Amino acid sequence: MGELSVFHDHVIVVMSGVIVLIVYVMSYLLLNTKYYKNLSEGTMIEMIWSIVPAFLLIILVMPSMKVLYYMEDVKSPSLTFKVIAHQWYWSYVVPLYKNFSYLLDGKFFGGYEYDSLLEDDSMSPRLLGCSSDLVIPLGVTSRLLISSTDVIHSFAVPVMGLKVDAMPGRINQLFVNPSRMGVFYGQCSEICGSNHSFMPIILKVFNLSNYDSYTKNLLMELVEENVSSLSLNI
Ligand SMILES: [Cu+2]
């Protein structure tokens, strides 16, 4: 997202120069009452108005391609989160404590799965409250695997520069390495049916120690649900 922001500023600077020049030349020509009736060609000015725009396009394309490839680049993630879209809610599978898998009462658990539905809460803006959030750690490269069970949705958290379609039968991936803690809002961004507007996303970034205790709590919940007699000491 930082790279995208820098690219945006770069484009704004170049485009402002172009717009000022074009508006100046156009208004100058419109207001001018004199003309040179024998003028039919001018090699030098034609060279300039061909080469300068081509050069400007190259200046715009180079950083654009850089950001594009950087976004698609496969980093080496420490954690993997699964995001599954449904009509009309999200479900998440998040890694367990210390990114381990656990065998509880003979059942294998590689992650904690839960649903996140629209739910009004006083903290969130209207229609952006969720019954549960996606929590990721600060300063760690995480991978989000995004898919869908019914129709095409789109997982989008604009402030983090995240947006990818959730396609049924297909897995898309996003990488995120947040540089600050906080609560970040998103929504489904592909018209997916009548309740399309009612499947918000809350992405929370915790620092590592809070993230550790959060995943520990998830594991304890899993243990409580699945282990009847055993007492685990974690
Ligand atoms: Cu959707």
Q: Which whole-number Å values give the CA distances from 13 to 16, 17, 124, in the listed order? A: 5, 6, 35
Sorting pLDDT into bands at 50, 70 and 90, what band is 222?
confident
Q: How many CB atoms lie within 10 A of CB 126?
A: 7
Which residue's structure tokens are 């995004």? 146
For the whole model, what pTM was predicted?
0.82
Q: For 206-211, what is the mean pLDDT?
A: 94
Q: Are 81 and 99 in contact (CB under 8 A)?
A: no
pLDDT tens digits, one per residue of 76-124: 999 999 999 999 999 999 999 888 888 887 788 889 999 999 998 888 8
Rounded to the nearest angstrom, the distance between the alpha carbon of 204 and the centre of ligand 1 is 20
Q: What is the DSSP letter of 194?
A: T
Rounded to the nearest angstrom, the distance between the alpha carbon of 100 and the centre of ligand 1 is 31
Q: For 163-173, what is the mean pLDDT?
A: 95
Rounded to the nearest angstrom, the distance between the alpha carbon of 168 and the centre of ligand 1 is 12
